A and B are shown apart, each in its own frame.
Chain A
Amino acid sequence: MIDTWTDLLPMLPELFLLGMVNLILIAGLFIDERRRGLVHFIATLTLAFAAILTLRDFDIDGRVAVAGGMFIRDGAGDVLKLFVYLTMGIVFVYAKFYLRTHKLFVAEFYTLALFSVLGMCVLISGGNLLTIYLGLELMALSSYALVALDRDSPVAAESAMKYFVLGALASGLLLYGMSILYGVTGSLDLSEIATRLSSGEYPKVVLAFAVVFIVVGIGFKFGAVPFHMWVPDVYQGAPTAITLLLASAPKLAAVGMTFRLLSEGLEPLARDWSQMLGFLALMSLVVGNFAAIAQTNLKRMLAYSTISHVGFVLLGILAGSDDGMAAAMFYAITYALMTTGAFGMIIALSNAGFECERIEDFKGLNQRNPWFAFLMLLILASLAGFPPLVGFFSKLYVLQAAINAGWLWLTVVAVVMAVIGAYYYLRVIKVMYFDEPEHEHALQAPGDVRVVLAANGLLQLLLTFFVGSLTALCVAAWQ
């Protein structure tokens, strides 16, 4: 299938990543603990170079199929990948501080994280059911191992186990759906499947089964209700640096996967899956927001808030239009930038003997450190979707796409749920600003964490001025 090596050039960023992960895997064995900063440096550099390589051939309207359509390189995929690199770069900065203070600063973190990035990139570019499954498993297996990174922690081990069992189940369901699809259409290639499906001569019932299993698999990966059980436990149980990783970049990859599977492969069945996604979105919005109110642990609250945000992302996808996909992508990108900020703040406020993860731990932050409190205010307000922060525009865009697709009733539910959601974000703001501090844990966050956190928080405000170009980019990517 591969004629010459130059045909593989569109895959260069992924090949480069693969090479570098192996290098880090081996180098990690020989770099002792004092020099482990070097591994961090190489890993960050890897991401930067991967981004440069992606930008080198960046063509927003282009679409290149490699290896007989196994691997698709297109504008939308590139935009998603660039933001995967960016969020992972941010994650690395926060994670280094956390892992250092928790004596978990091992080279394996970087190996697994970069393998997971590779999985995400393959997933985003998957043009074939097999590639998609391959990418998904690479991403997921690295994540399971990462959750168990702190092997002496029983909680982390428990959540890793839970994550693994449920994740494997989800993969199995997805695979089952894929196999039905293959059995019916006789092809693994997604564009080929779309062409054959549009001829419409396949048994409806069997196809419905395939769609159901594929949507369930996607729902599991997103953490949409009713397949969300793993999300709160894993978010709370995993070391915060790992939660940070799980909460951000994989959501971008999930959007990519959904796009490939549903919009490209199952496009002729859009009516079926958009109804199913409508149900998932509705349940996610309702359950996520109501359950988040009851939480006292911030990581767990953010887990439920993720679920509700997934509801919004699905709202964009179910619109089934280019505009809807662009909205979902924009939402996922901005969400990734918000959630890294929120978990980054938890990490920045924690130190060796103290996990700043209960909401109460934020009491009086404004008195202890007004600057951090202000940044967190921006991040939370953006998560809640208050203008003028960027979180508002992502919600606006998604709502617009959904109304345009005729889902008015669901958008009414969505905005009411956004108001309910506002309550628990406001509660954290309340704790930071209105309450007296209870403890005096010194802030030990090093310079790089402080700088990135400041950028991350201010970005919520500054992106407002560039919302035009960013949405234009997303729109262009899907046209």
Chain B
Amino acid sequence: MSADWPLLSLLVWLPIAGAVAVLVAGDRNAGAAKWLALLVSLATLALCLPLWSNFDSSTSAMQFVERTPWITSFAVDYHLGIDGFSLPLIVLTCIVTVLVLIAGWEVIEYKPSQYVAAFLALAGLMNGVFAAQDALLFYVFFEGMLIPMFIIIGVWGGPRRVYATMKFFLYTFLGSVFMLLGLIYLYLKGQSFQLADLQTMSLSMSEQTWLFFAFLLAFAVKIPMWPVHTWLPDAHVEAPTGGSMVLAAVMLKIGGYGFLRFSLPIAPDASAEFAWLIIAMSLIAVVYIGFVALAQQDMKKLIAYSSISHMGFVTLGLFIAFALVAKSNSPDTAALGVQGAMVQMISHGFVSAAMFGAVGVLYDRVHSRQIADYGGVVNTMPWFATFMVFFAMANCGLPGTSGFVGEFMVILAAAKHSLGIAALAAVTLILGAAYTLWLVKRVIFGDVANSQVAELSDLNGREWVVLGTLAFFVLFIGLWPAPVVDVMQSSVEALLRHITTSKLMGLPG
């Protein structure tokens, strides 16, 4: 029965309708507004159950498709559908939204109803990004996210929030307008904004090159890749805990998802041509940013740099596939890279949300993000310390945690191409361990550093729920990644079949 419902539309519009309801309710009864928001987010999460159980992982075709004409003069359709790439990301979005609302429950005192409404609206828009099968609809959701996030960082953020949020907004906006031009160009060429049509359209090499770089600007800023990553540490440091969690857990993934949906299938030949560039940039991100993270004094900044370094694995995994195909022309080995990238995205979604959540727990008590203000937290907050150490292990890719699976797959794929690249990528295992464990050592272990730390109280029930849920997923994917890998299997194969077929055939010159 539930299969007949417009599940995807509900996933997009239910949170947005909830946001409107919460805004109307206002701050007069903030408690009720927060409960309403939580109920809406739980209902949205519940919608994922029929979505997951009715999903047919044996096909790469779009499922749960909904399609109605929207702007007829541009041939733009309201066209939603999901495949194995979208589904895990939508589930991730719904889970993180619930946790973010719980994490901010008592902490946000200024205009709480606007706070929860912004996150609900953001959740709906992010689901829309992952479900959109029309390029313009994708762009609308993609850009639409910026305004709620701008408000979240700017209103509930730290002292330099205005600078950070402006930088975040303008960086992302600048990147994406070029994508818009690329999409318009494709529309004028093929008279369609449908992703499926754009992906099968024949394009000459020079067209593909221009499009590739237009898309690269948009997604490289979003994911973010070195050297356009500088907005991320600022945004993370100034954002409230919830904002950081959503930013790291979901919004960065949209960059990776964009590569999968746009760059690779629309411009496969250009992607193959410039794979070396992306691989080089990813390795710089992995290694250089790893060193940068080592030098940080601010916990959130450290985790932000670690995010950039981890997202380097995603781009590495996606583009190493091209190198592999070019060398051996066997999509099977390349599949490992793409799968690794996807698993890394999901895993990083949980791990980074958990790390930011954990830092948020400390910040709420001490109101400092400086590593130097802490030390010996384990003495006063043993349960928190347990979680923190666990997440730190996941962040440096300890086997048994989700962080290991994705990185391992990507390194394995890289090794099949070139041992040198694999060795460089593997440096992150050392660097990641270095900066994360050093952070844990300075914050958690040792003697009680000062009177503030001495007065800390351990996790309350609300924080238990947030960190516990995240720990569950980190462990679950680490021990048994099969559900996540299986669900995307056919989509990965279809993508590789698609991108290994050159679009240049049949074109003159």
User: Which residues on A sit within 8 Å (CB–CB) of B71?
Assistant: 393, 467-468, 471
A416 CA to B176 CA, complexed, in Å: 10
Q: CB-defined interface of A353-397 with B at 8 Å, one 1/0 digit per residue?
A: 000000000000010001000100100010000111000110011
B interface, how many residues as a size bin?
Answer: 35 or more
User: Which residues on A sit within 8 Å (CB–CB) of B23?
Assistant: 370, 374
A370 and B170 form a contact (CB under 8 A)? no
Task: List the one stretch of A59-67, A84-92, A428-436 in contact with chain B.
Answer: A428-436
Q: Which of B158-186 contact A (CB under 8 A)?
A: 161-162, 165-166, 169-170, 173-174, 177-178, 180-181, 184-185
Q: Name which residue of chain B comes closest to A464, CB basis.
A: B140
- Residue B74 CB within 8 A of the other chain: yes
> Which listed residue, B73, B139, B169, touches A475 by the CB 8 Å rule?
B73
- Residue B26 CB within 8 A of the other chain: yes
A423 and B72 form a contact (CB under 8 A)? no
A381 CA to B236 CA, complexed, in Å: 24
- Residue B309 CB within 8 A of the other chain: no
A471 and B73 form a contact (CB under 8 A)? yes
Q: Which of B130-146 contact A (CB under 8 A)?
A: 136, 139-141, 143-144, 146
- Residue A399 CB within 8 A of the other chain: yes
Q: Name which residue of chain B comes closest to A431, CB basis.
A: B162
> Which listed residue, B74, B144, B178, touches A388 by the CB 8 Å rule?
B144
A392 CA to B71 CA, complexed, in Å: 13
User: Which residues on A sit within 8 Å (CB–CB) of B185?
Assistant: 403, 408
A392 CA to B147 CA, complexed, in Å: 13
B154 and A381 form a contact (CB under 8 A)? no
A381 and B147 form a contact (CB under 8 A)? yes
> Which listed residue, A396, A423, A426, touches B180 by the CB 8 Å rule?
A396
A472 CA to B136 CA, complexed, in Å: 17
- Residue B114 CB within 8 A of the other chain: yes
User: Which residues on A sit within 8 Å (CB–CB) of B169?
Assistant: 422, 426
User: Distance in Å from the Cβ of A394 to the closest Cβ of chain B?
Assistant: 12
B184 and A399 form a contact (CB under 8 A)? yes
Q: Name which residue of chain B comes closest to A323, CB basis.
A: B73
User: Which residues on B sit within 8 Å (CB–CB) of A472?
Assistant: 72-73
Q: CB-defined interface of A413-424 with B at 8 Å, one 1/0 digit per residue?
A: 001101100110
User: Distance in Å from the Cβ of B163 to the closest Cβ of chain A?
Assistant: 10
User: Which residues on B sit within 8 Å (CB–CB) of A422?
Assistant: 169-170, 173
- Residue B150 CB within 8 A of the other chain: yes
Q: Name which residue of chain B comes closest to A469, CB basis.
A: B72
A397 CA to B114 CA, complexed, in Å: 33
With A388-B144, A433-B155 known as contacts, the answer to whether A471 contacts B174 (CB < 8 A) is no
> Interface SS of chain B: helix, strand, loop or mixed?
helix
- Residue A411 CB within 8 A of the other chain: yes
- Residue B257 CB within 8 A of the other chain: no
A416 and B154 form a contact (CB under 8 A)? no
User: Distance in Å from the Cβ of B433 to the closest Cβ of chain A?
Assistant: 39
User: Which residues on B sit within 8 Å (CB–CB) of A430?
Assistant: 154, 162, 165-166
B177 and A471 form a contact (CB under 8 A)? no
A426 and B150 form a contact (CB under 8 A)? yes
- Residue B419 CB within 8 A of the other chain: no
User: Distance in Å from the Cβ of B406 to the closest Cβ of chain A?
Assistant: 32
User: Which residues on A sit within 8 Å (CB–CB) of B70?
Assistant: 467-468
User: Distance in Å from the Cβ of A372 to the closest Cβ of chain B?
Assistant: 13
A404 CA to B76 CA, complexed, in Å: 17
- Residue A400 CB within 8 A of the other chain: yes
A422 CA to B140 CA, complexed, in Å: 16
> Which listed residue, B72, B76, B155, B166, touches A426 by the CB 8 Å rule?
B166
User: Which residues on B sit within 8 Å (CB–CB) of A429?
Assistant: 150-151
A415 and B177 form a contact (CB under 8 A)? yes
User: Which residues on B sit within 8 Å (CB–CB) of A392?
Assistant: 140, 143
User: Distance in Å from the Cβ of A190 to the closest Cβ of chain B?
Assistant: 27
A423 and B188 form a contact (CB under 8 A)? no
A408 CA to B207 CA, complexed, in Å: 13
User: Which residues on B sit within 8 Å (CB–CB) of A377?
Assistant: 147
User: Which residues on A sit within 8 Å (CB–CB) of B174?
Assistant: 416, 419
User: Distance in Å from the Cβ of A454 to the closest Cβ of chain B?
Assistant: 13
- Residue A412 CB within 8 A of the other chain: yes
- Residue B69 CB within 8 A of the other chain: yes
B155 and A434 form a contact (CB under 8 A)? yes
User: Which residues on B sit within 8 Å (CB–CB) of A418?
Assistant: 177
User: Which residues on B sit within 8 Å (CB–CB) of A416?
Assistant: 174, 177
User: Which residues on B sit within 8 Å (CB–CB) of A399?
Assistant: 180-181, 184
A472 CA to B181 CA, complexed, in Å: 22
B73 and A423 form a contact (CB under 8 A)? no
Q: CB-defined interface of B256-271 with A at 8 Å, one 1/0 digit per residue?
A: 0000000000000000
- Residue B404 CB within 8 A of the other chain: no
Q: Name which residue of chain B comes closest to A468, CB basis.
A: B71
User: Which residues on A sit within 8 Å (CB–CB) of B144?
Assistant: 386-388
- Residue B64 CB within 8 A of the other chain: no
B26 and A370 form a contact (CB under 8 A)? yes
A396 CA to B143 CA, complexed, in Å: 13
> Which listed residue, B76, B114, B161, B166, touches A423 by the CB 8 Å rule?
B166
User: Which residues on B sit within 8 Å (CB–CB) of A397?
Assistant: 74
- Residue B215 CB within 8 A of the other chain: no
Q: Which of A244-292 contact B (CB under 8 A)?
A: none
With A374-B23, A471-B73, A475-B73 known as contacts, the answer to whether A403 contacts B140 (CB < 8 A) is no
Q: CB-defined interface of A455-479 with B at 8 Å, one 1/0 digit per residue?
A: 0000000000001100110010000
- Residue B187 CB within 8 A of the other chain: yes
User: Which residues on A sit within 8 Å (CB–CB) of B143?
Assistant: 386-387, 392
User: Which residues on A sit within 8 Å (CB–CB) of B165?
Assistant: 430
User: Which residues on B sit within 8 Å (CB–CB) of A411?
Assistant: 181, 184
Q: Name which residue of chain B comes closest to A378, CB basis.
A: B147
B150 and A468 form a contact (CB under 8 A)? no
With A430-B166, A434-B154 known as contacts, the answer to whether A386 contacts B147 (CB < 8 A) is yes
User: Distance in Å from the Cβ of A216 to the closest Cβ of chain B?
Assistant: 30
User: Distance in Å from the Cβ of A106 to the closest Cβ of chain B?
Assistant: 40
With A426-B166, A426-B169, A471-B74 known as contacts, the answer to whether A434 contacts B178 (CB < 8 A) is no
User: Distance in Å from the Cβ of B157 to the closest Cβ of chain A?
Assistant: 8
Q: Name which residue of chain A comes closest to B187, CB basis.
A: A400
With A400-B187, A422-B170 known as contacts, the answer to whether A370 contacts B154 (CB < 8 A) is no
User: Which residues on B sit within 8 Å (CB–CB) of A408?
Assistant: 181, 185
Report which residue of B72, B73, B155, B169 has the largest number of chain A beta carbons within 10 angstroms of its beta carbon.
B73
Q: Name which residue of chain B comes closest to A429, CB basis.
A: B150
User: Which residues on B sit within 8 Å (CB–CB) of A387?
Assistant: 139-141, 143-144
User: Distance in Å from the Cβ of B132 to the closest Cβ of chain A?
Assistant: 12
User: Which residues on B sit within 8 Å (CB–CB) of A471?
Assistant: 71, 73-74
A86 CA to B177 CA, complexed, in Å: 32
User: Which residues on B sit within 8 Å (CB–CB) of A370?
Assistant: 23, 26, 111, 114
A419 and B177 form a contact (CB under 8 A)? yes
Q: Which of A304-324 contact B (CB under 8 A)?
A: none
> Which listed residue, A403, A426, A433, A467, touches B184 by the CB 8 Å rule?
A403
Q: List 19 A-B contacts (CB under 8 A).
A: A370-B26, A387-B139, A388-B141, A388-B144, A400-B74, A403-B184, A408-B181, A415-B177, A415-B178, A415-B181, A416-B174, A416-B177, A422-B169, A423-B166, A429-B151, A433-B151, A468-B73, A471-B71, A471-B74
Enumerate the 7 nearest inter-chain pairs by beta-carbon distance, A residue then B residue, closest first.
A415-B177, A387-B140, A468-B71, A471-B73, A387-B143, A419-B174, A434-B154
Beyond A396-B136, A430-B165, list 6 extra A-B contacts (CB 8 Å): A386-B144, A388-B141, A399-B184, A400-B188, A434-B161, A468-B71
